[in-house]
Structure 1
Amino acid sequence: MKLSEEEIDNIFTECFNELRRNECNDFTHVLIKIFKSICYIIFISFVIYTILYHHQPTLSLVMRNVQGFIYPGLKILRLLSVPIISAYPSLSELYDESCLVQNPYFIVPDMDCYPCENVYSVIDLTGFTNISLYQSGIPYIIKTDLEPVNISTLQDLYIKYKSTFDQDAKRIYSRNQSLRTIEDSLTNELHETEHILWRINRMTPARILRTVFPKPYTISQWSGQSPERYIIIDGENSEPYYIPDMECSYVYTIQGSGRRTILLRPSKECLGLCRTVSVVLNPSEVLFYNWWYWRPISVPFASSKEKSVTYIGSYC
């Protein structure tokens, strides 16, 4: 039987289509198997977590038997990670992170909200001698004799310690796509709606910043300060934003220059028991609060004509 060229082409076309269908079916089958495996792992992890969370004897038994394997396991994991770190050096920045993934659904059940229940305003405790109030969890401000810290101050500091900041604290967050490093932010004219978040979580740049933002006198020498801190630069009309949660629960916010209005909103656990209070932070003033009870929002001050520089740290 003699086939025409058109018939031969149709046969080959049908064969290729059949091969493609088989490949698609195989790929779909592999995806389904991977999806099922992930679902099984999630389900088993959830069951194990539920049992350990709600049954203390089981948790104690597991911890007793697993504890001896923690250090050897981490040592093996560290050795296995060396080739990966060598290939991708930027991953070494994760070493200084205390938390890689934050749980947005975390909530403390039955939390006692007494530090915020009877708070109607942010009080001024400048020069107050009752140290117990400083650690009570209620929000307060103090006035200091801190020299103004503006963008020019940060520029001079950056130029002086450029190599340190470029190595250990160069990254920022900004809505402006052209600003990606602290050098970009300090060498360009900032718009009145600009918002720049500069995060520092290494000790060397943190010590440098303490030369212009010294530790407030209300913080006890026995308190441990977290190396994580933020410097926030805002234009005169930057949009409101939540102040980031810190590693330690006691947070202090130093206003270096400009003015900002801080709205202290109760946390989810205390939303029905506490009310929102606000305070205007003037230059050299420090606001203290406990982020277990408050979720502060920074809002531009209505009549401010100066860019704002705010320094945020925490202690335990």
Structure 2
Amino acid sequence: MANNNSVEEYLVYLKENANELRQLGKKWGMTEEEINSCVTEALSMTENKEELKKSPKNKARKCWSYFLFALKFQLAFCLLVFVLIAGIYITASYHEPTQRAVIKVIMPYSYEIMRLVRLAAVPLHGMFNISSLYNSECLIENPYFIQETPDCNICRSFKQAKGLNASTFNATKFTAYANTLKPVKLMKTIERNITYSDIRKMYLETQDRLVAEPHQFTSTVPSIQSLSQLFDEDHGEEIDAHENQHIDWHSTTVKASAGLRTLFPRPHYLPPETEVTLEKHVLIDGPNTTAYHLPVMNSSPLHLYTQGSGKRRLLVRPVEGCKEYCNSMLVFMDPGDALLYNRDMWRVYLSTSGDTTSVGYVIAIQI
């Protein structure tokens, strides 16, 4: 409305000052015909508004105005979210009931939230080391937690573990088998044997950091009850000679994971968006170690056991609620082989099948 009034006022001004405009045109060297044409066009009020709307300049202005509006809206939304989060944080810091309520709401999603934070921070690793900001996972087993029994119909038709060559196994196949919950043996996942000596060499290169970091260590050998006792001195001959021994190094730190990754690289068939959790187990067993079940990790249900050295038998059994409906499977593992399985459906028991020391490696994969 304001624009229409201003146009009408301007036209009235032009009519009142037409003579002055004619004189000004003559001074500029315009002919009488050119002056009349300009005055007629200015006073006609017959401009084509539709053409003005379709003009490139008008479209550019509209696009620019939409962009500015979207930008302002995003800034206002981000500011509102920031103020909301800051308000909740400050309130929870000083008001205990609010704090308990907030923790109760976000607790079921805490791992997923921190996983997104870690994935978002991956590009920063290329610029500087930020490992100290999230050095270890706090994993506490809940003795009162009972795992929900899965649908046993899933495993009724499984007769034996599928055997595939790791060189032809890709990210698409990994995702497919991970979703079917069927155990898969992947032959030659790693190309060389990983022995006690290899792990000890890695340990000696990062000794101070590994000993100081949080970890759990269990051993059936009375003289070896810590990581230092296992690796500070060479116990290779003793381990090879001790038939019934079992050692479990349970690591949950970034620094230990980085060292172990030099021995057990990230499998090439894992999709880029998957995460190998910090929780890992290194298992060192004597030639005739008593059978035991592989560790069950809470960080993720999808587990991957890799045979670093030695030959072993793995008995893959259904979980307690599905034993009557599903078959147990026997898998023979050679050095370099790996077994992919879901701990929600299966429990894996390890026993000997040779007269050499065994080195195993268990990781959890978040998909």
Assess same fold via TM > 0.5. yes
| Cα contact 2:137–2:278 (8 A) shared by 1 | no
Q: Tell me, what secondary structure is at the counterpart of 1:253?
A: strand
CA distance change for structure 1 residues 156 and 273 in 2, over 3 Å: closer, same or farther? same
- Percent of aligned positions that are identical: 23
Instruction: Please state how far the C-alpha of 1:164 moved relative to its aligned partner.
Output: 1.4
Confirm whether residue 106 of structure 1 aligns to residue 146 of structure 2: yes
Confirm whether residue 226 of structure 1 aligns to residue 265 of structure 2: no
Distance of 2:169 and 2:248 partners within structure 1:
32
Confirm whether residue 260 of structure 1 aligns to residue 301 of structure 2: no
Distance of 2:244 and 2:296 partners within structure 1:
23
Match among 341, 344, 349 for residue 297 of structure 1:
349
Distance of 1:100 and 1:263 partners within structure 2:
24
Q: Where does residue 282 of structure 1 map in the other structure?
A: 334
Equivalent residues in 2 for 1:131-280 (5 A)?
131=173, 132-135=175-178, 136-143=180-187, 144-168=189-213, 171-186=216-231, 187=233, 188=235, 189-190=238-239, 191-246=242-297, 247-280=299-332
Q: Where does residue 356 of structure 2 map in the other structure?
A: 306
CA distance change for structure 1 residues 232 and 163 in 2, over 3 Å: closer, same or farther? same
CA distance change for structure 1 residues 233 and 112 in 2, over 3 Å: closer, same or farther? same
Q: Tell me, what secondary structure is at the counterpart of 2:100?
A: helix
Distance of 1:123 and 1:228 partners within structure 2:
26
Superposed CA deviations along residues 33-82 of structure 1, whole A, max 9, x for unmatched, are xxxxxxxxxxxxxxxxxxxxxxxxxxxxxxxxx983327889xxxxxxxx
| Cα contact 2:137–2:279 (8 A) shared by 1 | no
TM-score in terms of structure 1 length? 0.66
Confirm whether residue 68 of structure 1 aligns to residue 98 of structure 2: yes
Structure 2 runs not aligned, ≥5 long: 1-95, 105-135
Superposed CA deviations along residues 207-248 of structure 1, whole A, max 9, x for unmatched, are 110111011223221112211000000000011001111121
Q: Mean alpha-carbon deviation: is it higher for 157-166 or for 231-240? A: 157-166
Q: Mean alpha-carbon deviation: is it higher for 253-262 or for 122-131? A: 122-131
CA distance change for structure 1 residues 70 and 158 in 2, over 3 Å: closer, same or farther? same
Superposed CA deviations along residues 69-110 of structure 1, whole A, max 9, x for unmatched, are 327889xxxxxxxxxxxxxxxxxxxx843224333x61415x
Aligned-partner residue type, residue 140 of structure 1: V
Q: Where does residue 25 of structure 1 map in the other structure?
A: none
Instruction: Please state how far the C-alpha of 1:171 moved relative to its aligned partner.
Output: 4.2
Match among 161, 180, 187 for residue 122 of structure 1:
161
| Cα contact 1:198–1:232 (8 A) shared by 2 | yes
Distance of 2:252 and 2:290 partners within structure 1:
25
Greater fraction helix: 2
Instruction: Please state how far the C-alpha of 1:145 moved relative to its aligned partner.
Output: 4.1
Runs of 4+ in 1 over 3 A off after TM superposition: 71-74
Distance of 2:342 and 2:321 partners within structure 1:
13
- Let me know the Cα RMSD of the aligned residues: 2.3
| Cα contact 1:266–1:294 (8 A) shared by 2 | yes
Instruction: Please state how far the C-alpha of 1:309 moved relative to its aligned partner.
Output: 0.3
CA distance change for structure 1 residues 277 and 100 in 2, over 3 Å: closer, same or farther? closer
Superposed CA deviations along residues 103-134 of structure 1, whole A, max 9, x for unmatched, are 3x61415x313442211111112214552433
CA distance change for structure 1 residues 138 and 177 in 2, over 3 Å: closer, same or farther? same
TM-score in terms of structure 2 length? 0.58
Number of corresponding residues: 227
| Cα contact 2:274–2:365 (8 A) shared by 1 | yes
Q: Higher Cα Rg: structure 1 or 2?
A: 2
Distance of 2:245 and 2:272 partners within structure 1:
36
Structure 1 runs not aligned, ≥5 long: 1-65, 75-94
